[in-house]
Amino acid sequence: MAPSALLSHARPMDHTEAVAFAALRRIPDLHFEVVGVYVGVDTLAINYRNQLGRLVNEFLIFDGSLVRQGHGTYLGSDANLSG
């Protein structure tokens, strides 16, 4: 699934979308395949394979409906944050 498909809609762009579009400019082949989604108390973990085929985990901590913290984790030597 290409992130640009998730971001195409008619409302004004917020900060999160601006960051995502900046990432798309930096990494034009950015895409991912969701491997698993894990739900906890006020948390969400998304395991996915990035455009390089590497496994990544994103951890989101919620305060109500808002994300309070987000953390990306990478497998061992794959810790290249820019993909």
Same domain, 47 and 73: yes
Of residues 9 and 52, more confidently modeled: 52
Same domain, 40 and 72: yes
- DSSP single-letter state for residue 69: E
Residues counted in the chain: 83
Same domain, 38 and 11: no
**What is the average per-residue pLDDT within 69-73?**
90
The count of structural domains within the chain is 2
C-alpha closest to that of 68 among 42, 36, 45, 47: 42
Tens of pLDDT along 16-65? 777 777 878 888 888 889 999 999 999 999 999 988 899 999 999 998 88
For the beta sheet containing 33-40, the strands, ordered from the edge strand earlier in sequence to the opposite edge, are 33-40, 43-49, 55-63, 66-74
Query: Residue 16 belongs to what domain range?
Result: 1-31
Same domain, 40 and 11: no
Tell whether 83 is covered by a domain: no
Tell whether 63 is covered by a domain: yes
The reported pLDDT for the residue numbered 49 is 93
Q: Is the pTM of this model over 0.75?
A: no
